[in-house]
Structure 1
Amino acid sequence: MEEAEEVKEMSELLSIPKTPRPPVSGPPSQLHSPSLTRSPMLHSPTPQTPRPSELHSIPTTPRPPVSGPPSQLHSPSLTRSPLLHSPTSQTPRASELHSIPATPRPPVSAPPSQLHSPSLTRSPLLHSATPRTPRTPRFARTPLASPMRRAIVNMRAYLEDIGHLTKLDPHDAWLPITESRNGNAYYSAFHTLSSGIGFQALVLPLAFTFLGWTWGILCLSVAFAWQLYTLWLLVQLHESVPGTRYCRYMHLAEATFGAKLGKWLALFPIFYLSAGICTAIIIVGGGAMKLFFEIVCGATCDSKPLTAAEWYLVFTCLAGVLSQLPNLNSIAGVSLIGSVTAVTYCTLIWVISVSKGRLPGVSYHPVEAKSDVDRVLGILNALGIIAFAFRGHNLVLEIQATMPSSLKHPSRVPMWRGVKAAYLIIAFCLYPIAIGGFWAYGNMIPSNGMLTALYAFHGKDTSRILLGLTALLVVVNCLSCFQIYAMPIFDSMEAGYTKKKNRPCPRWLRSAFRAFFAGISYFMAVAFPFLSDLAGLIGGMALPVTLAYPCFMWILVKKPERYSAMWYINWVLGSAGMVLSLILTISGVWNLVKTGIDVRFFKPQ
């Protein structure tokens, strides 16, 4: 059918008289115009010569060729122009030459500047010498896209793909935090949940012994909402400046407060959190391994058990081997395992404790202090314990740095989606631990928290399988948490090498760095085995990173309108966080001086 239509259209064309037109003259510089190159006025100047046997019946008038300098013959516009076609003559058929009157038409005159006008290029006077038919033949349709239009489309797609041309540090591709940027919302949920919940949640019932039911729940709720708000601020500040990604908490602090002040304010708390928590993890994990061995072996076991320092060493070796994974995205599976184990053992501990009922003679009244000073110190210590329960803000920007980001798909969207899912699960773990643990043990809760209370009060009337499973889950969770909290330290070690040598860190040196940090953490755990008793002091010192600094960063970077709602909220919360941090730190030190602490240097138990 298509061939029949084409034959019909050809016959219609051949039956219409063709009238030659003289070419449009113009200076050579205008021959490169996209409008002229698409104009049918500039067809081939080669004269149409009939066949030799039919020359006697048709007068022919040759057309002069269009002249131009040789340098312009290489123009892309001219190479597509029909003026530069082959000079082979086009010979009409014999039966058609007698019916074609050669009546020339005058050309359309226009100034050279108007030949580029879009209105002229669409004018019917500048169309092909072939007259229009009621239906344009299909074979004659040859739409050619403008080169400029193609360039604009390609550039638009390119800008949409890369966003706002983010300027990244070239060394980031060599460092473990930013080496891989293929993270997603699931990875952010795994990392956030693994870093946000752990052994520190088991100490929450101890804070209720000083605050009571009402104030304990109220303070826990306020702290949860406060830290979730500052977490949202950090997620938004990751790409607050167009073209810049703050991939580390330290980078954002230096860019906001200045290089010197930012380092002075944030360096010690961040490294104290990372290194201090890794040391505490070795203490808790090694102790849980020792407890697991005792439960499995039983009272009649003849084997000589390892000492606490030796169990710390076993745990450190396992953590050091696992730390050889190259980057933050590569430990997403480890964080998933850590998250599952944390949720599982938290649930097991409070379910077993509540199912066994309240202890006989349990009391829920706040602990009576000998003086008003002791009462105030106890309340402040409880607030420090609650603050220590919410950790992980020093890792938020690092986790978000593992995600791709563009103008159409910014990294804050999947990051915040993962954070919301993670903290919903964290809330379902923290509140039952705090409320259920305080209901079951009251003021009799040990200073080490729920895990010690479970084995102390229900070790004999609980299945050994459940007790052993709980201890094993704590060990696995500590191994997982060690990796994500040690990652900023690994990143800083390798950053010093890459900046000095301007090349990636060799694999053997990377392994040596990580083994060295594991050894330092083990030494700190053996030398200071009483770090778990300093939860209130640690929480007070790390409080600005969690509750204060993000508020001031938002004011300095976003510059909200003066006396607006965001301006007031961030100033009030930031100032309150700094004051609370100072008070908690002073009270923690005062409490240690007044009540004392079982200092056991190099004597782990």
Structure 2
Amino acid sequence: MTAGLDSSLPNGAEASIDMRFHGGAGGSEKQVERTGNVCTASAHVITAVIGSGVLSLAWSIAQFGWVPGPAILFIFSIVTFYASLLLADCYRSPDPAFGRRNTTYIDAVKNILGGRQEWFCGLAQYGNLIGATIGYTITSGKSMVAISKGHCLRHNRHLSNPSSCNIHDGRYLLVFGAAQLLFSQIPDIHQIWWLSIVASIMSFSYSFVGLGLSAGQAVHGTQGTAFGIGIGPGPHSVSSADKVWGILQALGNIAFAYSFSSILIEIQDTLKSPPSENVSMKRATSIGVLVTTIFYMAVGCVGYAAFGNDAPGNLLTGFAHSKLFWLVDFANICIIIHLVGGYQVYAQPVFALGEWYASQKWPKSNLVNREYSVTVLTPRIGVFRFTIFKLFWRTLFVLFTTIVSLVFPFFNAVIGLVGAITFWPLTVYFPVEMYSKQSGVRRWSCKAMALQSLSFVCFLVSLSAAVGSVQGIISSSRRYKPFEF
């Protein structure tokens, strides 16, 4: 990734360069040098999509099986691709080629739809951002546990009771939270471009490691069944109700993996013209979604072939006994490094919103507006500037996400919920509504009915996935004791 897109976050990647309600350009033209092209935009799309969500795809396919699983993945890619084409025409308004620029997603919603839609978009975006920080905290904790558990198993092979290596998430969630307390004091998102680049490299590293390890295991025999986990009393079967809940939760996991629409406008804002930005963005989206779909199909299907219906929720946790333990540890370290940076790209817009609101609410307060400076080691290294409110607000947010992660450390259920509640509004609803209004689609025309049908079906899918994920959280909570260290 280049520094030109500060929010270059894998998968999820759903963060925005500047998503404050009133902090965007408001549709006004900025004197910004835009040098991006189809190649750079394609790279941004690929990097934005491929991330921690890829780790849940083998488990998701296990809920469906060989017949429906890959088809569901493909359908999500088609819906994401089509909705992204509609959204690309909303970068400029009212004319897609020559209108005024909308430099952020929320600018586009504000200028094309306006009114309450802007607030609905803001709620969806910020819900996505906050949910992602919680999901990333949980995922990093799982990776730390995987490293620690693998180390324990390798050094205690003589133990007759493997449960002696059961390790709780709590201490590692606190470690990750402590690291975020430090990184969260970085002034703003424009100063963490280097963290995004490191995060992007890490995401590709652990994704390819997971694919390679799965392929190596699948060579010895392909696992899985036509329709996934069976229903019945058998040791590898579940009740019909649990089968349904698993399918619904898997839908949310896949939605989380494919979601990148909330930063599409920001990516498009890096493109030079001519040709028109919407033309270049559509080409970039075609390339990006195609590459991502092939990669997701490979990871999901090969992972399922390796583990079958016993596929773990997080693919890499299934290799605790692998002889290539050093490679598994490397992949988990890559996940942790990626999520340290990923957390910040999601959190910084939330920080910015809170600080903007406080400065508007209390413009004369010293606690909010008086800036203090502390020299970091030497003046050459830098000067740390902060306000009392900024220090308190950012610390409070990190504590909140860490506590929620301690109470609900359930990887698949949490990312499924985040994917479910944001997929419909950000990936489908707003692109359909903005495109329909800007293009003058007649209300009861065939095209309008088709677009609204697509939106309604995706709404039902998101709603079902949300219900399944909530049930998964409730079910897991019954068997889990929070705050175990």
Q: Work out the CA distance in 2 between the residues paired with 1:377 and 1:290.
A: 26
Counterpart contact for 1:190–1:335, Cα < 8 Å? no
Taking the TM superposition and a 5 Å limit, the aligned residue runs for 1:563-578 are 566-578=447-459
Conservation of the 8 A alpha-carbon contact between 1:256 and 1:557? yes
Say if 1:348 and 1:599 are closer, same or farther in 2 by CA, change over 3 A.
same
Between the aligned partners of 2:243 and 2:478, the Cα distance in structure 1 is 21
User: Cα gap change, 1:313/1:589 in structure 2, threshold over 3 Å: closer, same or farther?
Assistant: closer
Deviation at 1:333, TM superposition (A): 3.4
Between 1:288-297 and 1:469-478, the stretch displaced more is 288-297
Q: CA shift at 1:531, angstroms?
A: 5.2
Give the distance between the partners of 1:181 and 1:275, measured in 2 at CA.
31
Q: Report the equivalent of 2:231.
A: 369
Distance 1:282 1:454 in 2: 21
Distance 1:257 1:202, change over 3 A: same
Q: Choose from 313, 338, 341 the match for 2:199.
A: 338
- How far did residue 196 of structure 1 move? 1.7
The unaligned stretches of length 5 or more in structure 1 are: 1-168
Which residue in the other structure is 1:10 paired with?
Answer: none
Corresponding position: 1:527 with 2:407? yes
C-alpha spacing 1:327/1:206, structure 2 compared with 1 (3 Å): same
Does the Cα contact within 8 Å between 1:208 and 1:216 map onto a contact in 2? Answer: yes
Quick one: distance in 2 between partners of 1:491 and 1:232?
Answer: 29
Quote the residue 1:585 is aligned against.
466
- Partners of 1:604 and 1:549 in 2: how far apart? 42
Equivalence map 1:292-441=2 (5 Å): 292=147, 299=155, 308-357=169-218, 362-366=223-227, 367-370=229-232, 375-401=243-269, 403=270, 412=278, 419-420=285-286, 422-441=288-307
**Aligned equivalent of 1:284:** 139
Whether the aligned pair in 2 keeps the contact of 1:323 and 1:483 (CA below 8 Å) is yes
What residue is the counterpart of 2:435 in the other structure? 554
Q: CA deviation at 1:224?
A: 0.6
What's the offset of the Cα at 1:571? 2.2
Of the three residues 508, 514, 521, the one matched with 2:386 is 508
Opposite residue 278 of structure 1, the aligned amino acid is T
431-440 or 358-367, which moves further after superposition?
358-367
Asked if 1 retains the 8 angstrom alpha-carbon contact of 2:141 and 2:172, the reply is yes
Return the offset for 1:215. 1.5
The CA deviation at 1:282 is 1.2
CA contact 2:188–2:352 (8 Å) conserved in 1: no
1:228–1:360 CA distance, 2 compared to 1 (3 A): closer
Q: Could you say what the CA RMSD is over the residues aligned between the two structures, in angstroms? A: 4.0
5 Å matches for 1:105-254? 172=24, 184-185=36-37, 192-241=45-94, 244-254=100-110
- State the partner residue of 2:12: none
Distance 2:307 2:51 in 1: 20
Preserved CA contact (<8 Å) 1:280 1:532? no
Q: Is the 8 A contact 1:384 1:536 kept in 2?
A: yes
Instruction: Summarize the Cα distance change of 1:527–1:585 in structure 2 as closer, same or farther, 3 Å threshold.
Output: closer
Once residues 592 and 331 of structure 1 are traced to their aligned partners in structure 2, the CA distance between those partners, rounded to angstroms, is 33
Please give the alpha-carbon distance, in whole angstroms, between the structure 2 residues aligned to 1:497 and 1:183.
Answer: 35
User: What is the CA–CA distance in structure 1 between the aligned matches of 2:283 and 2:112, rounded to whole Å?
Assistant: 26
Change (3 A) 1:532 1:585: closer
Alpha-carbon spacing, 1:404–1:601, altered in 2? closer, same or farther (3 Å): farther
Are 1:452 and 2:317 matched, yes or no? yes
Distance change in 2, residues 1:172/1:584 (3 Å): closer
Structure 2 residue 357 is the aligned partner of structure 1 residue 496 = yes
Structure of greater Rg? 1
SS in 2 for 1:288: helix
Question: Which residue identity is paired with 1:385?
Answer: N
**Separation (CA, whole Å) in 1 of partners of 2:47 and 2:185:** 18
Does the 8 Å CA contact 2:410/2:473 hold for their aligned counterparts?
no
- Deviation at residue 578 of structure 1 after TM alignment: 1.6
Matched, 1:273 2:128: yes
| Partner Cα distance (2:277, 2:178) in 1 | 35
When residues 596 and 483 of structure 1 are mapped into structure 2, their CA distance, relative to the original with a 3 A threshold, is closer
Relative distance call for 1:199 and 1:435 in structure 2 (3 A) is: same
**Could you say if the C-alpha distance between residues 363 and 430 of structure 1 is closer, same or farther in structure 2, counting changes exceeding 3 Å?**
closer
1:237 aligned counterpart, secondary structure? coil
Matched residue of 2:386: which SS? helix
Tell me how far apart the structure 2 counterparts of residues 464 and 376 of structure 1 sit (CA, whole Å): 35
> Which digits, 9 at most, give the CA deviation of each residue in 1:109-157, with x for residues without a partner?
xxxxxxxxxxxxxxxxxxxxxxxxxxxxxxxxxxxxxxxxxxxxxxxxx
Which of 324, 339, 345 is the matching residue for 1:463?
324
| Count of aligned pairs | 423
CA contact (8 A) 1:286 1:312 kept: yes
**SS of corresponding position for 2:225:** coil
Residues 1:191 and 1:330: Cα distance change in structure 2 (over 3 Å): farther
Q: Could you tell me whether the CA contact under 8 Å between 1:537 and 1:588 is conserved in 2?
A: yes
> Which position in structure 1 is the counterpart of 2:116?
260
Q: Read off the aligned partner of 1:240 and give its amino acid letter.
A: S
- Of 277, 294, 308 in structure 2, the residue corresponding to residue 442 of structure 1 is 308
**Shift of residue 508, structure 1, vs aligned partner:** 0.8
- 8 A contact 1:195–1:481 mirrored in 2: no
Alignment-mate amino acid for residue 141 of structure 2: G
SS at match of 1:213: coil
Partners of 2:82 and 2:211 lie apart in 1 by 28
CA displacement 1:546-594 (0-9 Å, x = unmatched): 233321221123322566675344223212212222333344445666x
Return the offset for 1:278: 0.6
**In 2 relative to 1, CA 329–418 (structure 1 residues): closer, same or farther, beyond 3 Å?**
farther
Equivalent-residue separation in structure 2 for 1:601 and 1:392 (angstroms): 34
User: Residue 437 of structure 1 aligns to which amino acid in structure 2?
Assistant: G
User: Partners in 2 of 1:220 and 1:373 — Cα distance?
Assistant: 23
Amino acid at match of 1:577: C
Deviations 1:76-127 (A, max 9, x none): xxxxxxxxxxxxxxxxxxxxxxxxxxxxxxxxxxxxxxxxxxxxxxxxxxxx
Aligned pair in 2 of structure 1 residues 323, 181: CA closer, same or farther (>3 Å)?
Answer: farther
How far the C-alpha of 1:273 sits from its partner, in A, is 1.4
Contact 2:214 2:303 in 1 (8 A): yes
Equivalent AA in structure 2 for residue 526 of structure 1: L
Maintained 8 Å contact 2:103/2:266: yes
Asked if the contact 2:429–2:455 (Cα under 8 Å) also holds between the matched residues in 1, the reply is yes
Q: Say if 1:375 and 1:470 are closer, same or farther in 2 by CA, change over 3 A.
A: closer
Q: Does the aligned pair in 2 maintain the 1:188–1:400 contact within 8 Å?
A: yes
**C-alpha displacement of 1:281:** 0.6
Shift of 1:358: 6.1
Q: Deviations over 1:244-293 (max 9, x none)?
A: 44344344444455423542x33443222111111111121133234435
Change (3 A) 1:588 1:529: closer
CA contact (8 A) 2:133 2:343 kept: yes
